[in-house]
């Protein structure tokens, strides 16, 4: 528990680096979420927070121009989505390529591959052997 308290104190100090408008809106909620986190998640929390602080200061004009919604059921519309069918197709294709690449690399060690010295004839048909057990 002592470590968790120290991590929360350090995180609270880190949250003070956000621009004032952002800090007023989100600091309490961010502290509540961090209090529920497992100790193994803290490196990710600190890394993400430091990156977000830098981004918030670099893009501070957007944070100041965004109106704060009021009321119990208030929400803020974020506008049109920039996600187009072409972007979806690109994302799908990239995902398929990555999954197939990972599959190939992970199964590579289970298959017997022909030696390059035996491949004197390029027209030879190579056979795939069953995985070793």
Asked which of 14-28, 64-78, 111-125 is least confident by mean pLDDT, the reply is 111-125
Mean pLDDT of all residues belonging to the chain: 76
Model pLDDT for residues 22-65, shown as the tens digit of each residue: 888 888 999 998 899 888 888 888 888 888 888 887 775 555 55
Asked if pLDDT for residue 7 goes beyond 60, the answer is: yes
Indicate the pLDDT class of residue 3, thresholds 50, 70 and 90: confident
Model pLDDT, residue 21: 82
Asked if pLDDT for residue 16 goes beyond 70, the answer is: yes
Cβ contacts of 110 within 8 Å, gap of 6 or more: 131, 132
Question: How many Å apart are CA 86 and CA 92, to the nearest integer?
Answer: 10
Asked if pLDDT for residue 13 goes beyond 70, the answer is: yes
103, two tokens: 């599959």
Question: How many Å apart are CA 18 and CA 59, to the nearest integer?
Answer: 12
Contact 30, 39 (CB under 8 A): no
Question: How many Å apart are CA 86 and CA 104, to the nearest integer?
Answer: 27
Cα torsion angle, 106, 109, 113, 115, sign: positive
Contact 19, 60 (CB under 8 A): yes
Question: How many Å apart are CA 7 and CA 28, to the nearest integer?
Answer: 15
Indicate the pLDDT class of residue 18, thresholds 50, 70 and 90: confident
């Amino acid at each position: 528990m002592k470590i968790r308290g120290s991590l929360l104190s350090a995180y609270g100090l880190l949250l003070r680096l956000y621009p004032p408008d952002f800090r007023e809106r989100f600091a309490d909620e961010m502290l509540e979420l961090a209090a529920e986190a497992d100790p193994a998640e803290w490196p990710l929390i600190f890394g993400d927070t430091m990156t977000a602080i830098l981004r918030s200061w670099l893009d501070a004009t957007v944070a100041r121009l965004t109106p704060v919604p009021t009321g119990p059921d208030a929400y803020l519309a974020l506008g049109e989505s920039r996600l187009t069918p072409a972007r979806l197709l690109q994302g799908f294709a990239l995902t398929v390529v990555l999954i197939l690449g990972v599959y190939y690399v992970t199964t590579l060690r289970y298959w017997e591959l022909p030696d390059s010295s035996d491949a004197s004839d390029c027209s030879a048909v190579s056979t795939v052997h069953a995985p070793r057990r």
